[in-house]
Structure 1
């Protein structure tokens, strides 16, 4: 399968990219699965790390589309994002594990493997040094969904305090691997 860039358009708004990534295959150094939950963050979004402009911490968000942006959340967990347009990124919130599951289980011996961005980061061995790396298949691979993923749920983002009303969280309906349920589903 081809790596990330085709057929994802690097000019897609963050919310459209977040929706397009549902059903894609994400593999990091031999472990991964199918993306089942994402959240979008735009350049003019007060909840986005890029809202106040480029800094050393968020520099990858202003780099090329199809690259990773990794940050530490709450001083503990590393979270993986896919960069889209300048200043925009999509947080990978959850995936359905299918590749290197035993390796992921060694990294996360208890509880769900990839249901939530912190768990996903631990299971996939996401590193701060991954920030800025391309999803080109060398260490990080992101391949388009081989077929439409099914019904996609939409709801407000979670774990943030600003712009909470934006319906920029997307999830695959019926997936047991979502980090949290969607309102009304």
Structure 2
């Protein structure tokens, strides 16, 4: 009898986890889209707070959702790894604008990368989303900035998109969230950035299996 009750408890706990990780339309209706002032701070402050939030892209009426597990902060024109360090150009114009907009660019001529613009206007800082843990509606790998954009159908047509809208946005899901430890370390692929190479501006959820690099 006791064993049966324990088994029932385990099943209920598993069901609760599934409910959080695989949301139905009811839960999606009550997600809290992050407000403008969430982004209106330096990228180094915003980046770790984005971990655990949900990135959502609505495609043909279907929400593709991933939990953010890895990000990198690019803190402004003085950051030699930031695109804005090269000045204000057609490519980086979005970075110099209002916080809470998408900055999407192409690397190697084939991979899209998604950033959230942060800081006051013309601060030119952003947070790169590097990896997601799939939650709902996603097919394909999400452990890397190019891979997650492909899995969520994010491309440069979304460059400059307002992240407070209902198509592409970052949200704080309702309900109790799993606690996690944030780990900071050097960013990936910025060997050209002089003294900025070793700055601990990459933030990850410790031990998450969907990180781009362990």
Q: How would you bin the TM-score normalised by the shorter chain?
A: 0.7 to 0.9
Unaligned runs of 5+ in 2: 1-30
**Alignment partners' CA distance in 1, 2:86 and 2:37:** 30
2:135 match: 98
Shift of 1:73: 1.0
User: Are the equivalent residues in 2 in contact too, given 1:149–1:172 (CA < 8 A)?
Assistant: no
Shift of 1:9: 4.8
**Partner SS state of residue 48, structure 2:** helix
- Tell me which of the two structures has the higher relative contact order, counting C-alpha pairs closer than 8 angstroms and 6 or more residues apart: 1
Once the two structures are superposed, the pairs formed by residues 24-39 of structure 1 within 5 Å of their partners are 24-29=53-58, 30-39=63-72
**Alignment partners' CA distance in 2, 1:148 and 1:47:** 32
1:168 is the counterpart of 2:201: yes
* Higher Rg: 2
**Alignment partners' CA distance in 2, 1:20 and 1:70:** 20
User: Are the equivalent residues in 2 in contact too, given 1:38–1:94 (CA < 8 A)?
Assistant: yes
User: Are the equivalent residues in 2 in contact too, given 1:32–1:99 (CA < 8 A)?
Assistant: yes
**CA deviation vs aligned residue, 1:6-31 (integer Å, no higher than 9, x gap):** 66251x21111111100111101221
Count of aligned residue pairs for this structure pair: 171
Shift of 1:175: 0.6
Q: Tell me the TM-score normalized by structure 1.
A: 0.87
1:178 match: 211
RMSD: 1.6
**Alignment partners' CA distance in 2, 1:7 and 1:51:** 24
Unaligned runs of 5+ in 1: none
1:3 match: 33
Q: Tell me the TM-score normalized by structure 2.
A: 0.75
Q: Runs (4+) of structure 1 moved beyond 6 Å?
A: none
Between stretches 48-57 and 89-98, larger displacement belongs to 48-57
Shift of 1:89: 0.2
Counterpart among 177, 181, 184 of residue 151 in structure 1: 181
**Partner SS state of residue 50, structure 1:** helix
**Alignment partners' CA distance in 2, 1:61 and 1:6:** 15
**Alignment partners' CA distance in 1, 2:105 and 2:161:** 13
Once the two structures are superposed, the pairs formed by residues 7-18 of structure 1 within 5 Å of their partners are 8-10=38-40, 12-18=41-47
**Alignment partners' CA distance in 2, 1:165 and 1:45:** 12
